[in-house]
Structure 1
Amino acid sequence: MTATATAPTTGERADRTGGPRSPLAGTGTLIRFNLRRDRVRLPVWIGASLLATVGSVSSFKATYPEPEDIESAKATFEAPAGLAMSGPDHYLSGEYHYGAMTGHQMISYMALVIGIMSILTVVRHTRTEEETGRAELLRSNVIGRHAHLAAALVVAVAANVLLGVLLAAGLGSLGVDGVTASGSLLYGATSVGIGVVFTAIAAITVQITPFARGSSGMAIAALGVAYALRAVGDVGADTFSWLSPIGWAQRTYVYVDNRWWPLLLNVALAAVCVALAVFLSTRRDVGAGLRPPRPGRPSATDRLAHPVAFALRLHRGVLIAFGFGALLMGVAFGSLLGETDDVLDSSDEFRETVEELGGSLEEAFASVVLAILVLIAICYAVMTVLRARAEETGGRAEPLLSTGLSRTRWLGSHLVVALAGGSLISVLGGLGFGLAGAGPADDSGLIWSLTWAAAAYAPAVWVTAGIALVLVGWFPGASAAAWAAPAYMFFTVYLGQLMDTPDFLLNLSPLSHVPQVPAEDLEWTPLLILTALAAGLIALGLAGFRRRDLDLK
């Protein structure tokens, strides 16, 4: 008698026993493997987030020791600029104790940090695995169709839950006035709510494009849109805040009203996004995206024979996305400029703060916003330099370097795109800020002044690119540490003064040495020094790349 084998159900693979393989087969093993790979990365993210939050809240007592100091801070945050940078004015409606300060000032800041951590974790363990071919190799054996996605979601959510628990415990143990145990528990829950939403959004973006960089870019763009909607809504158009998962978390009014129900919106959105991501994953092949790459021309144009033009072609999509995002964010903040003058007549404390900064209220607000917009350009510059490292490890640099193309020209082509593209993104942010702010502020000169002020931050972008290049040239295995530079600058812009950080630590950030134009006069000396420092870092990085072997995997 001849044995007859029964074919597995359509869409399923047989396991070792001959039966259909579960779509989640091997998920537990992948979870342990992902945790092993992230044994350094995730603890650093969680520890830094915890330290920034607890350190900021514990510093409130030293920063605002007297009731009049608290009232001064309250008056400052009642300004449109203050609300855009912090949260809704309901936190200011009652007693502005240290708990209300925590919810008002920290949730939006931490949302960006937690969102980026969640996005990068999901992309790293899904789309990056497919792009490198490892996912296809594993799925050809004992790994189910949805195992990679499920494992990535579990790890990202677990990281967010751990951070939420630590935040609740850390804040609750401070013994600061207004920072209650129940409020701390809700604060930790808001962090988890924000994290799971952007974990789920990243699960969707990894289905759309076949490239990890594109997946990260789309998810981070969604994070930026959520932050911008929250900022616009908190200034006055409350409806916009209800379109943002960050706005939902803020409207728990932690330490004030302690409302839990807005987090149900975060949970519902996350569940819908995860279900959609699972459905979309069944509509594509491994390694492919729902949006297939456009077919190229039969033959390359002559200009692609030049290394800079070729590098620009590689980075074109990300450059356009970052530039458009900076322009939109500039427009969002620029729409707030016309409302800043209304605060002068009602807030003597805020008037004094502006007088200390120098310049008008609009200029003081613009100086702070420009420092935030330039962080987008800095992130692009780091990402572009690290793309050269990805080209190297992916084996795509070796064929180019086996020709007459030198190492310096190859790496320098990516660097040129990073420097020029980062500067362009900074200028676009300033241009959008000026175009949107000129009308409300009734000052057409803002278009030129804010665009020029944004251009003044270009040397800070170049220094950051130089730091990334040094790591790629001399310490390629640690090149991902280049992200510590924009993270530190983000910290100094948002929390440096709030935490009463010593000047010598603030001075480690290149942004601290750029004149706060337009509130201050432009001084060329610090910009020239930053440019010289960038040139030195670039020369050092190129020298290291010339001396070491290529790292091929």
Structure 2
Amino acid sequence: MRTTTEQLAGTGTLLRLALRRDRLLIPLWALALGGSFASVARSLAALYETDAARAEFARSVAANGTVRALYGPVFADSVGGLTAWRMAGTGAALAGAMSLVIVVRHTREEEETGRQEMLSAAMVGRRAALTAGLLAALAANAALMLVIVAGMVNSGAGVAGSVALGAAVGGAGMVFAGTAAVAAQLTGNARLAKGLTAAALGAAFALKAVGDAAAGAGSSPVPTTWLSPMGWAEHVRAFGAERWWVLLLPVAAFALQAVVAYTLAGRRDLGMSFLPARPGPAAGALGTAGALALRLQRGGLAGWAGGFLLAGIAFGGLANGAAELVGDNEATRRIFERMGGQRGLTDAFLASMVGMLGMVAALFTVASVLRLHGEETAGRAEPLLASPVGRLRWAAGHLTIAFGGAALIMALGGVGLSIGYGHDPAGILGAALLRLPAIWLLGGLAVLLYGLTPSAAPTTTWAATGLALALGWLGPALNLPPWAMDLSPFDRLPKLPGGEMAWPPALIMTALAGALVAGGLAGLRRRDLRG
């Protein structure tokens, strides 16, 4: 039996390699997400300038169970306390997403592409890759924590509350790093490992939402909240009589999952899994490249479709209480109007929710397009293209899912909004579908980058998508200048429902998306595979 030292041999080298590969991903994610905490704190300070205004807003949140389900209860009505209310759960979820990408990328994805097998032929231990992946995630969450603390302190918040908030978010990120490590051992491919961890993220949010909806401001959380790492992040109570002992929960959860992951890693062969793929039928039933693409992506598409329908229903239910939540605060009203573009608060709220669904749908489209890159780097595209299937037919199958799937999930999101709101189903559905040109434009950019520069396509595409989403999400609250907001394609589309329809921006974006797709496919035809 190998000693622990032998099984961890090469960890330092793999960690340096992982950090080098993530030298852009980790700093950008930490600065963008961590910096948003300070930005929200400054925005809240400008919106609610007096203690009385902040106390009144906290009371309105306590009385609105739907808002608590989204953001949690308020434990303190200071600027720091309101920032923790607004960002703790969201930050924990995004830190979890960052962690799962990092861990799976440096564990299961390395095995799937065959690179880990080559490294293991050298002096690299069985558990070195897993350790390097977890340490890379730890470095990312530590960087995120430091940015949160520095930004909050610089914005005038207290040091103790800032440290508690940063540690709560970073701790939640490490919990999902451990979840991803276990999933990477159980599954046979990176896509399924990410899917299982993302499902755990969704389940954690649902548990948090149920618990927060049942608890008032400052009250004890119901049991379901204690089952969610996002609930733990909230109930550290940063800036509100901090509960430091709650930070022990993510530490214990990560340690337990790490033990499970290391145990599983020691009991399987390299490249194998505990949940092997089911063998297909003896006679294949897929006759086209499009049918194969649908088979590969149908699970993800179904998950996104169901999620958008449920999210739409939840957001639609909030619309009727939007005016009650905002009350007489004109600054908050202006934020919704900048996001929604309307003078009527309900229409502005609905338009902002449609915009949020559109920004999230862009993640689906970009990920679906980049599935082409994954198939190519994993070596699965070459055998298929050695048959009479041409490159354009192969790519067209995945692009149909990417662009057509975006239309499907946005339509279901619109249907959900109309169900939750209970009025104007045709108008809300049309508003949801109007987000498609911006989504397709980002998808077209992904196709262009994949066709011309495949090695840089994932990093560059996700960076551009992240910038567009950050501007759309935080820009209205930060009151960014028009030239900055114009960098996001979502801001150029007319804000519906309730506004005036303007066809030129939608038509121009659709034409640009088509041109980008054509350029990417032309590049794919001319270059070598795995280039």
Asked if TM exceeds 0.5, the reply is yes
CA deviation string 1:396-452 (max 9, x = no partner): 3334444544433332332122101122122233334444x2xxx5x3x46555444
- Check 1:517–1:71 CA distance in 2 against 1; reply closer, same or farther (3 A cut): farther
| Residue of structure 2 in register with 1:542 after alignment | 521
- Check 1:434–1:60 CA distance in 2 against 1; reply closer, same or farther (3 A cut): closer
For structure 2, list consecutive stretches of 5 or more residues without a partner in the other structure. Answer: 216-220
d(CA) in 1 for partners of 2:207, 2:330: 25
d(CA) in 2 for partners of 1:243, 1:333: 24
| Residue of structure 2 in register with 1:293 after alignment | 277
* Residue identity in the other structure for 1:454: A
d(CA) in 2 for partners of 1:473, 1:192: 36
- The Cα of 1:138 is off from its aligned counterpart by 3.2
d(CA) in 1 for partners of 2:192, 2:347: 35
The question of 1:479 aligning with 2:464 is answered no
The question of 1:88 aligning with 2:110 is answered no
CA deviation string 1:169-194 (max 9, x = no partner): 342234x2xx0111111122112211
- Check 1:68–1:90 CA distance in 2 against 1; reply closer, same or farther (3 A cut): closer
* Further displaced range: 272-281 or 185-194: 272-281
d(CA) in 2 for partners of 1:314, 1:431: 26
- The Cα of 1:488 is off from its aligned counterpart by 2.3
Equivalent pair of 1:75/1:349 in contact (CA under 8 Å):
no
| Residue of structure 2 in register with 1:385 after alignment | 369
| Residue of structure 2 in register with 1:317 after alignment | 299
The question of 1:185 aligning with 2:163 is answered yes
The question of 1:34 aligning with 2:18 is answered yes
- The Cα of 1:248 is off from its aligned counterpart by 1.4
- The Cα of 1:246 is off from its aligned counterpart by 1.1
- Check 1:290–1:520 CA distance in 2 against 1; reply closer, same or farther (3 A cut): farther
d(CA) in 2 for partners of 1:520, 1:161: 44
d(CA) in 1 for partners of 2:59, 2:333: 10
The question of 1:126 aligning with 2:107 is answered yes
The question of 1:221 aligning with 2:199 is answered yes
* Residue identity in the other structure for 1:247: G
| Residue of structure 1 in register with 2:218 after alignment | none
d(CA) in 2 for partners of 1:350, 1:298: 66
- The Cα of 1:64 is off from its aligned counterpart by 5.2
| Residue of structure 1 in register with 2:288 after alignment | 306
- The Cα of 1:482 is off from its aligned counterpart by 0.9
CA deviation string 1:316-371 (max 9, x = no partner): 23222322333343344455556x27827x93337993995648765444333333
* Residue identity in the other structure for 1:475: T
1:165-244 to structure 2, matched below 5 A, reads: 165-174=146-155, 176=156, 179-236=157-214, 238-239=221-222, 240-244=224-228
SS in 2 for 1:291: coil
CA deviation string 1:124-151 (max 9, x = no partner): 1100111012223333443333222122
| Residue of structure 1 in register with 2:355 after alignment | 371
SS in 2 for 1:120: helix
d(CA) in 1 for partners of 2:50, 2:502: 36
The question of 1:347 aligning with 2:327 is answered yes
Equivalent pair of 2:431/2:497 in contact (CA under 8 Å):
yes
d(CA) in 1 for partners of 2:154, 2:251: 27
d(CA) in 2 for partners of 1:227, 1:449: 30
| Residue of structure 2 in register with 1:5 after alignment | none
| Residue of structure 2 in register with 1:151 after alignment | 132
d(CA) in 2 for partners of 1:495, 1:76: 22
d(CA) in 1 for partners of 2:251, 2:44: 31
d(CA) in 1 for partners of 2:252, 2:176: 13
The question of 1:117 aligning with 2:98 is answered yes
Number of aligned pairs?
Answer: 519
SS in 2 for 1:348: coil
The alignment's TM-score, normalised by the length of structure 2, stands at 0.86
d(CA) in 1 for partners of 2:373, 2:322: 48
- Check 1:507–1:85 CA distance in 2 against 1; reply closer, same or farther (3 A cut): farther
- The Cα of 1:120 is off from its aligned counterpart by 0.7
- Check 1:146–1:264 CA distance in 2 against 1; reply closer, same or farther (3 A cut): same
- Check 1:516–1:229 CA distance in 2 against 1; reply closer, same or farther (3 A cut): farther
1:10-29 to structure 2, matched below 5 A, reads: 12=1, 22-29=6-13
Q: Equivalent of 1:421, from 385, 405, 413?
A: 405
- The Cα of 1:468 is off from its aligned counterpart by 0.5
- The Cα of 1:212 is off from its aligned counterpart by 0.7
Equivalent pair of 1:326/1:376 in contact (CA under 8 Å):
no
d(CA) in 2 for partners of 1:433, 1:263: 37
CA deviation string 1:240-281 (max 9, x = no partner): 433321121112221222222222222222222222323333
The alignment's TM-score, normalised by the length of structure 1, stands at 0.83
CA deviation string 1:443-492 (max 9, x = no partner): 3x465554443333222221111111111122222101211233223323
SS in 2 for 1:476: coil
* Residue identity in the other structure for 1:108: G
Percent of residue pairs bearing the same amino acid type: 39
- Check 1:352–1:318 CA distance in 2 against 1; reply closer, same or farther (3 A cut): closer
